[in-house]
Structure 1
Amino acid sequence: MLYAGMTVEDVSSTLRAFTDALLPIRRAWFQAANVAMDDLDLPSSMSAAILMVSRAGPDGIRQNDLAEEVGIHPTALVRVLDQAQKEDILARRESQTDRRVKTIHLLPRGEQLASRIELAITKLRATLLRDMAPADIEAATRVLRQFGAHTAAYLQEARAKR
């Protein structure tokens, strides 16, 4: 389908262009999000943690899962959580199913900040995607999710072989 009528070099070039674009776009997105949230005066890792905890819902999110979602090492997340706890934004609680596990929850101040972060990000999305057709955004999302699923399956298989 994608490869019909394409040379091996064309296919390789197309696939490389796709994967080479991922990291710079991710970096630019996070930089733009930080600019959009400047008035909140929060470190980017704390903003990301607040957002992920908010999206996890009332049951919270496991501390290790949060570190993975935010994209930082679990030991670095501990410092972020210590600061957020000190500022009455987030709370650590023992998991109801496994006492060895800590889950992270929003406190009322964290809920207010999460709403402000979501609003800033919503406005940013509208600005950055304003001239793109919804069908193009849906297609791009579909491709990225499928690529993510293939990547996750590859990693799972590679780990199983170890």
Structure 2
Amino acid sequence: MDVSSQTPTADVDVDELKNPKNDEGSTKPKRRRETSDIWMYFKKIKGIDGLDKAECKGCKKQYQCGTKQHGTSTLWRHQKTCSKLKFHDVGQMILDQDGKMRSKKIDQKIARELLACAIIRHDLSFSFVEYDGIRAWMKYINPDVPCISRNTLVCDIKRIYLREKKKLKHVLPTI
């Protein structure tokens, strides 16, 4: 192996290694690209005092940003409370039969109640909810829905039983 090919040559500028030139040819350090999703709701501007600021696209309120002390946490907190920002998480939307967008959020209580009623109506075993095929189907339909155990199902069925028993007690004296 040739040792001369491993040693650096004298033509290399040490200052160039310390401060590489960016695309425009200047030796200023490159500015980091904003990677946070918060920049969909804010735009970067220069403030009157010359500091970097972030301006809300909804209410035009300005926040200091761009340093280690002023990150994106304040922007995230503002985004949650800003009443003028209109945004929809398209990942949580689906098309209904009419072709309109609607939320696909599922109420877990209603989903569990419907599952328990189906188990009762069709006289299925409690372990039905633990079948691999049923769990795979539920995850395919909606990955956000947690699969319940047979013990949870038993509690849900007991709750339905007690509720229906209470209704029946109210109805029987009137007959």
Q: What TM-score, normalized to structure 1?
A: 0.24
Larger Rg: 2
- Higher relative CO (Cα under 8 Å, sequence separation at least 6) belongs to 1
Q: Which has the higher helix share?
A: 1
